[in-house]
Chain A
C-alpha cells in the first residue's frame, strides 16, 4: 500500500487576521513578519487519514508531497513527525504563488513520477484561498477516480471505502484504486507528533525536486496559470450598525428585542 498525501503551507489560519496585509496593488496577501506558517489543517487531517489506514492495515508507505517555497520544508517535517515515511518538496520559482490549477498540475506530475501509487489524499481545500480545486485537478490529470469530502477512509482489498459528507447526512462510496480522496474536517482531529516520531523524523528522507525534475515545462505552467486571472483582491468593508439591547434583566432584554423584531416585521 503506497499512499501519497498532498500538503500545503499556509499562514496560520488561527492567527488574528490583523497579522495579514492585503496588498491591493500586487493582489497578494502578505503575512506580517513573525506570523507562523503551518500545514493547512485539512491537509493535516489528510495525513491523519493516511496514518489511520496504516494503523488498521499494519503496513503502508506514506509519502508527504508539497509544492511550495524552501520554507515549506517545515510542513513536510511536521508530516514526517506525525508519522509519514518520507517527503518530497517540489520547489521552483516558476511555481511561486501557484494557482490551484497550477498546483494540481505540479502535484499530478510529481505523483506520476513516484510510481505505483495506490491512494492520493489531500485536504478538501486549503485554509488560505479556500478553493477546493487541487484534489479534483489531480484526479482529472491522472485519470484517477475521485471522492471528495471524506469523513472516514478505509482501504479494503482492491478499493477504498469512503464516507462522504452530504448536506443532510453522508453517503458511503467505494472507489477502485488508485484513487484520489479529499478529506473534510468531520474526519476528526489530527494526532500531534510524538517525541519519538519527531526524533525519528530527522532521519527520514526529504527530497527536493524542481519543475523540470518532474517533467514539467515552464510553458505548461504559464499556460495553466493564465487560465484564471485575479482582477482584484480586497478586504470587505463592514458597516457597524449593531444596536446593543440592554435591560435590567434578561426578561427586559428579551421584551425589547421582540419589540424591535416586530417593528422590523420579522416576527
Chain B
C-alpha cells in the first residue's frame, strides 16, 4: 500500500548496477534535496525490484521515502515492466518532478512515463533550478552548441539528468520510510533474451582520469598508444564518435551527446577537434588537456592546458615521464 503522508516534491528513479546503487542515482538524490526545500515537499525514491538494503543507501543520500517496487526479477530494466509500475507510483505520489539519470535506462523510461502521465519531458539536463515554486530545466541542444531552458505547465515535470549536476551527500543518521509496493508480474511485449558486456573492468563513467581519442588518431592503433598512458595513470580510455562509427574502438567507449557523460578530474582529449556534441559528454571534467596537431582546433578553447603536436610523440613522452615520476615518488 502506498501511504499519502506528506507531499512529494521529487521522485527519483533509482538505478542499480551489480547490486549497488549507481553514483548518478546518488547525485540525483543530492539534486532532489536541493529542490525539496523550495518545493516544500519530500524526496521519494523508487527502487524497482532491487535489494531492499539499497533502500538504506537511498535514505542516507537524501530520500525521505523509498518505494521498493515489485520483486527481484524486475531488477534488470525492462520498459514494459518498469513503465506501468512507475506510472502507478507517480500517480499515487503525484510529485512535482520525476527525475531519471540520462542513461540507456532513463532515456528509454522518462519519455514513456511522460506520455503516460499526460505530461512532457526534458532530456539530458545539465541544470535544474527552482524559482518562485517553478522548476526550470536547462539542456544542451544543437550538438551542445546551444542551451535551452524549459518549464512545464503539466505535472510531473519529467526529466533525465546528466552526471555532474547534483552533489551526493551521505548522512548515515538520516531517517526515512521504506514502503513495499507489490506489483503484478507482467509479461513484457519486448523481452530481453541476452545481454553482452563488451567493456570489462573499470567503468568509464567512474574513472578519475580519462584519455580520449578522436579522428586525429587516424586509426585503431592510436588507441594502443593512449592505453600506454592510461596504464601508467590508472585511467580509462574513451573516444569521440568518429572512431566508434569507424570501428576503431568499441561503441561503448563513446563519450558525447549520443554516448557517455563523464566527469573525471583529468580529461585528455587527443586528436579531438572539440565539436559541441563531444563536449556535451565531457564538458564537466574538472581539467581538460588537449593534444592536437591543429593549433586552431576548437578543443583549445575548451581546454585548460594545450599541447600542439603529434600525439604519437607526445603521448609516449607523457607516459614515460609519468612512469619516471612514479618511480621517484614511490618509497
A residues apposed to B, CB below 8 Å: 13, 17, 20, 22, 29, 99, 101, 104, 124-125, 127-133, 136-137, 139-141, 145-149, 151, 164-176, 179, 184-186, 188-189, 226-236, 238, 240-246, 249-251, 253-255, 257-258, 260-262, 264, 266-267
Of A172, A184, A236, A266, the residue contacting B147 (CB under 8 A) is A236
* A266 contacts B79, C-beta separation under 8 Å: no
Apart from A227-B120, A231-B151, A261-B305, 15 more pairs, CB < 8 Å:
A22-B146, A132-B124, A133-B114, A141-B115, A149-B107, A179-B190, A227-B119, A229-B153, A230-B148, A233-B146, A244-B295, A244-B306, A246-B308, A258-B322, A261-B266
A-B contact pairs, 10 of them (CB 8 A): A17-B143, A104-B115, A130-B142, A136-B112, A146-B190, A166-B104, A229-B151, A234-B146, A244-B308, A267-B322
B318 proximity list for chain A (CB < 8 A):
254, 257-258
* A145 contacts B190, C-beta separation under 8 Å: yes
Tell me which residues from 280 to 331 in chain B have a Cβ below 8 Å from any Cβ of chain A.
Answer: 286-287, 289-290, 295, 300-310, 313-314, 317-318, 320-322, 325
* B107 contacts A172, C-beta separation under 8 Å: no
* B304 contacts A254, C-beta separation under 8 Å: no
Q: How far, in Å, is A161 (CB) from chain B's closest CB?
A: 8
A242 proximity list for chain B (CB < 8 A):
290, 300-306
Q: Is B194 an interface residue (CB 8 A)?
A: yes
On whether A168 and B199 interact (CB within 8 A), knowing A130-B140, A230-B150, the answer reads yes
Tell me which residues from 193 to 245 in chain B have a Cβ below 8 Å from any Cβ of chain A.
Answer: 193-199, 203, 205, 233, 241, 244-245
B314 proximity list for chain A (CB < 8 A):
250, 253-254
CA distance A29 to B141 in the complex (A): 10
* B196 contacts A170, C-beta separation under 8 Å: yes
On whether A250 and B317 interact (CB within 8 A), knowing A168-B203, A173-B192, the answer reads yes
* B112 contacts A171, C-beta separation under 8 Å: no
* B104 contacts A185, C-beta separation under 8 Å: no
* A228 contacts B152, C-beta separation under 8 Å: yes
Q: How far, in Å, is A182 (CB) from chain B's closest CB?
A: 9
On whether A238 and B301 interact (CB within 8 A), knowing A136-B108, A226-B153, A250-B313, the answer reads yes
* B107 contacts A148, C-beta separation under 8 Å: yes
B287 proximity list for chain A (CB < 8 A):
261, 264, 266
Size category, B interface: 35 or more
* B149 contacts A232, C-beta separation under 8 Å: yes
Top 5 A-B pairs, shortest CB-CB distance:
A136-B111, A145-B189, A175-B190, A140-B115, A228-B120
Q: How far, in Å, is A264 (CB) from chain B's closest CB?
A: 6
Q: Is B122 an interface residue (CB 8 A)?
A: yes
A226 proximity list for chain B (CB < 8 A):
153
Interface of B is mostly: mixed
* B244 contacts A186, C-beta separation under 8 Å: yes
* B189 contacts A127, C-beta separation under 8 Å: no
CA distance A254 to B194 in the complex (A): 45
CA distance A227 to B310 in the complex (A): 51
* B146 contacts A167, C-beta separation under 8 Å: no
* A130 contacts B257, C-beta separation under 8 Å: yes
B203 proximity list for chain A (CB < 8 A):
167-168
Q: How far, in Å, is A232 (CB) from chain B's closest CB?
A: 4
* A267 contacts B325, C-beta separation under 8 Å: yes
Of B121, B300, B305, the residue contacting A257 (CB under 8 A) is B305
Q: Is B34 an interface residue (CB 8 A)?
A: no
On whether A137 and B321 interact (CB within 8 A), knowing A170-B196, A227-B154, the answer reads no
Q: How far, in Å, is A198 (CB) from chain B's closest CB?
A: 25
CA distance A176 to B187 in the complex (A): 12
Q: How far, in Å, is B14 (CB) from chain A's closest CB?
A: 16
Q: Is B251 an interface residue (CB 8 A)?
A: yes
Q: How far, in Å, is A28 (CB) from chain B's closest CB?
A: 11
A167 proximity list for chain B (CB < 8 A):
103-104, 203, 205, 252, 260
B205 proximity list for chain A (CB < 8 A):
167
B245 proximity list for chain A (CB < 8 A):
185-186, 188-189
Q: Is B91 an interface residue (CB 8 A)?
A: no
Of B118, B142, B307, the residue contacting A128 (CB under 8 A) is B142
CA distance A70 to B215 in the complex (A): 36
A136 proximity list for chain B (CB < 8 A):
108, 111-112, 115
Closest to A165 in B: B251
* B112 contacts A140, C-beta separation under 8 Å: yes
A164 proximity list for chain B (CB < 8 A):
104
Q: Is B265 an interface residue (CB 8 A)?
A: yes
Q: Is B11 an interface residue (CB 8 A)?
A: no
A139 proximity list for chain B (CB < 8 A):
112
CA distance A188 to B136 in the complex (A): 36
On whether A125 and B302 interact (CB within 8 A), knowing A136-B108, A145-B190, A171-B194, the answer reads no
* B145 contacts A235, C-beta separation under 8 Å: yes
Q: Is B80 an interface residue (CB 8 A)?
A: yes
